[in-house]
Structure 1
């Protein structure tokens, strides 16, 4: 899932530092239209533009315990950065594209609305991992892979999140590379051995649709579907930087990691 970029400057320089220089810390007037209502810590006012204040009632009701979840989330993020082939591949691809990633600056564990597990904020060029919903290492790995694909597209492809077709394209790519597999469709009862290709494409479209609608509450479902269908023939075959569609319970992510060297990615 993504937010909308409200920076009006051109994306001519691809470095991560330049991205951050362009970013503004002023939230859009109607933040809910662009998905910020699902990330309350992005629109608070306590000690910074994205800090959320807590009352004593919050702590007495148990909400203060989210610090424990946040620490657990940060540990899972660190473990994924050190050990996950997919996360290391994405970080290497970003570095090789001139957009190095510092986990202290570019990844944040925050409390989110219960229907989301992560997001990408192009205003801050930052991945959000929702510590109240992404509670184990496997989910955190999926969130990081998905959102780092958005960061990669923003870095490499002049992505404009205000453009609905651009948003649809990056959501298609993230669903294609980080989520959908024949096995997951099979387990949900939507696949057969006769329609593997069609089922995967349907999964990608469905996942992209839900993400687009979450990021752009101001558009209709029909508008989102039309945008996905317009860009699907171009965006679905684009497998960079992972290079393959990952099958569940396979060694595909390890193969993708090994193949990253052949593409010149700076992988640790």
Structure 2
């Protein structure tokens, strides 16, 4: 069975690149003439803001819209919510651990610095409460990575989130990347899945591989993850998302910058990639 028949539309990523909060310029009408249309426009803007929020994926990251997370009493009683401040501290500690110890995160930070986009932890990485369907995201409007403190609770998962989102940040820094273009979005999702997630074991676990299709297993895994991510953050049909992934797949799948290799599970590939960083001009940490 092909990868297209087995993908769930549940993603682990990404934020779009559209600032739908921008307001149109005021007209030159008098105050009396403007008042009624303005009231109507405010209501329309509120509806449009909610629609755009869902269309572009911001509904998965409520704190991106300036909202304060309010835990539910029922979930507080069950111990599932109500300790957001503690979760935030733990998340920030995990981020700091990854920055100091993860070869991939250190390599990505070095590549970003060498590209003219150095990372300031306080400015560019934010731990927030997210929807349960995602573990992280990248907001190109604010040039900020979101780590979902309620979903990414372990160092290994935070490392995966940071590496994945830093690939988006790297693409945004080095290329003329437009997140409103579905082909651009599909390409950066392919690259992130290719470099940060998929291995034969993970492909087996999600049903994209078997012992009889090893050759295609990695590509199937990458396509599955990229498709799921596109569907999660764009209000497009499944057919449109599949077509976008297929259009750009050959070129984007073979672009291994800046890691330089596909990381195999339980292998020294992470350390090798980190040690090779200076050979490609990256100021590794």
Band the TM-score falls in, shorter-chain normalisation: 0.7 to 0.9
User: 2:157 pairs with 123, 139, 156, which one?
Assistant: 139
Specify the alignment match of 1:246 in structure 2: 263
Specify the alignment match of 2:15 in structure 1: 3
TM-score by length of 2: 0.80
Aligned residues: 243
Specify the alignment match of 2:39 in structure 1: none
Q: Distance in 1 between matches of 2:63 and 2:70?
A: 10
The root-mean-square deviation of aligned C-alpha atoms, in Å, is 2.1
Specify the alignment match of 1:40 in structure 2: 62
Q: Distance in 2 between matches of 1:106 and 1:128?
A: 9
Unaligned runs of 5+ in 1: 9-26, 44-49
Specify the alignment match of 1:209 in structure 2: 227
Between 179-188 and 149-158, the greater mean CA deviation after superposition: 179-188
Flag the 1:179–1:57 CA change in 2: closer, same or farther, 3 A. Answer: same
Conserved 8 A contact 1:59-1:65: no
Q: Distance in 2 between matches of 1:240 and 1:188?
A: 26
Say whether 1:258 aligns with 2:270: no
- Deviation digits for residues 203-225 of structure 1 (CA, Å, limit 9, x no counterpart): 00000000001110x10010000
Flag the 1:225–1:68 CA change in 2: closer, same or farther, 3 A. Answer: same
- Deviation digits for residues 193-239 of structure 1 (CA, Å, limit 9, x no counterpart): 453231100000000000001110x1001000000000001100000
Say whether 1:77 aligns with 2:100: no
The offset of 1:187, in angstroms, is 4.0
TM-score by length of 1: 0.85
Unaligned runs of 5+ in 2: 1-12, 21-45
Question: Any residues of structure 2 matched to 1:50-61 within 5 Å, and which?
Answer: 50-52=66-68, 54=70
Larger Rg: 2
